[in-house]
Amino acid sequence: MEFAFSETGGGSSIIVFLREFANFSAMAKIGKNIDNIWHMACIDFQFTGSKQIFESLKNHIIPGQTYLLALSGWSDSMLTASLVYNFFIHQKLGLQNLILVHCNHWVRTESYQESKFLEKFFAGTNFHIVTRKEKISKINEENLRKRRYNEFAKLAKKYHASTLIVGHNLTDRIESTLLHLLRGAHLKWFISMTEYEKHHVFPGNIYRPILNISKDAVLKICQKYNIPYSTDKSNFDSKTSLRNKLRMEVLPWLYKLAHKKTPTENSFQQSMLHIYKELEKTTQKKTFHLTPFTACSLRKAKFAYEVSSTSQSRTNETTVQVLRELKVTHDMSLAQIRELTKFFSTAEQGFKYLQWTYFFVAHGKKYIISAPTDFWQKTVEKSKKIATLWQVKRYNFTLPIVKTERIGWSVRFAKASDRYHNKTRNQYCITAKIPVFWRNFVPVVVKENKIIHVFREFI
């Protein structure tokens, strides 16, 4: 095992390697500035892709929700933990909802030292070490992975966590794609892994925040910000597994032949990244659809959408996705998100007002409107006399007038006191399934305060 971290001084970075069985006190002495995760809260992470990663975290981390984060102690998991921890601190999220988990299989002599390193570095956090010392009949990558995910599943159930955060990166993804191609793969297995998806072993979602950056970039970022990490030498033994053979013998040649863009990027990796993104567009199924509709200018609405979704997709995750797409603030609590999901799933009529946004359910349809408080209660009394045929402009409506006898009549919005077809305005709107927020803005033709025609096409 190697622990690797960098110490910056005199304008240069010094990479320090502590060889086999190096004790933690020696490592802490050399890396005195990075001996605990608390230091990561103070870092202003700035690197290629950092903005996209923190935007992704905003989109996928729900306030109040509990998350597991898998820790191997290697560079990718240590960077992921540092970024997520930093995000929790800066977004003022409860750290009790971030559970860091290290699985010690006890199959390598370095396992004890790795566990002690992580235990020290993550002291003071919600950190767990899961150990299983029973013998394994066959030690291989697949069996160890299944053991890890089984342990993650147990903890997820215990702490009510629905999402597991892992440190898979672009290099991991490319390796997996090539493995699947060698074994025979269709499109799903070519894509291999996505940023956020269901998992066949873990009973929840898997989230990979750093999936779009390469292993080389991960190492450079760890060096830049003095993030310590351990190294598993078995990952570099090409005789251990087919993945290692690809990693050590095949991919280095592809990377070498590819055009270098930066010290951490090359054209082959970037080409694969572009292919993944394009393929994901064709395979991802959106669980909701937003249909914009024109909001009357009098309501001063920032946006107005009808929301359609299947009953299976009415989940907290879908609610968050809708809010993100509409750029509604991500500061909603988990309780508010659950309340909104339940409202959209079970209510027949009514509305909720959260974060300066209205959520309506009316006549089996759902609407989201960002507008001033009680906007639909505003009334407009003025009317406009019809002087010519064809078009009458009223606020942001252009109303067609095609009957000559209507010249001299007036155009205005319906009033609560109006009657049409022997019904009050509200009775008519209920029968016609016109939502409550439209009722004061229904354009009508009137003659002597009697409604002659309703412009339903503008509702």
Which of 143-147, 294-298, 325-329, 343-347 has the least mean pLDDT? 294-298
Q: Domain span at residue 338?
A: 288-376
pLDDT at 150: 86
pLDDT digits (tens, 9 = 90+) for 311-327: 656 787 788 878 878 87
pLDDT digits (tens, 9 = 90+) for 246-287: 999 999 998 888 877 666 678 899 999 999 999 888 776 667
pLDDT band for position 4 (50/70/90)?
very low
Same domain assignment for residues 122 and 236: yes
Residues counted in the chain: 459
Same domain assignment for residues 120 and 214: yes
Same domain assignment for residues 327 and 434: no
pTM of the entire structure?
0.68
Same domain assignment for residues 264 and 304: no
Same domain assignment for residues 182 and 49: yes
pLDDT band for position 13 (50/70/90)?
very low
> Cβ distance 104 to 115 under 8 Å?
yes
Q: What is the CATH number of the domain that holds 158?
A: 3.40.50.620
Range 192-196 average pLDDT: 91
Which residues touch 110 (CB under 8 Å, ≥6 apart)? 1, 20, 21, 230, 232
Same domain assignment for residues 361 and 445: no
Q: What is the mean pLDDT of the chain?
A: 81
Per cent of the chain over pLDDT 70 is 81
pLDDT at 3: 37
> Cβ distance 283 to 382 under 8 Å?
no
Helix, strand, coil share (%) of the chain residues, nearest 5: 40, 25, 35
Same domain assignment for residues 201 and 153: yes
End position of a domain, from candidates 376, 405, 430: 376
Same domain assignment for residues 218 and 69: yes
End position of a domain, from candidates 252, 283, 314: 283
pLDDT digits (tens, 9 = 90+) for 148-188: 888 899 999 999 998 999 999 999 999 999 999 998 878 88
Same domain assignment for residues 273 and 136: yes
pLDDT at 12 over 80: no
Which residues touch 263 (CB under 8 Å, ≥6 apart)? 216, 220
pLDDT digits (tens, 9 = 90+) for 394-415: 666 666 776 776 787 788 888 8
Which of the listed ranges 64-73, 103-112, 380-389 does the model predict with the highest average pLDDT? 64-73
User: DSSP state, 249?
Assistant: I
Same domain assignment for residues 245 and 306: no
Same domain assignment for residues 341 and 396: no
Same domain assignment for residues 340 and 243: no
pLDDT digits (tens, 9 = 90+) for 110-155: 778 888 889 999 999 999 988 766 665 666 666 777 788 888 999 9
Alpha carbon distance 274, 238 (integer Å): 28
- Per the structure, how many domains does the chain have? 3
Copy the structure tokens of residue 300: 């001063």
End position of a domain, from candidates 315, 344, 376: 376
Copy the structure tokens of residue 187: 């499109």
Closest CA to 174 of 193, 200, 199: 193
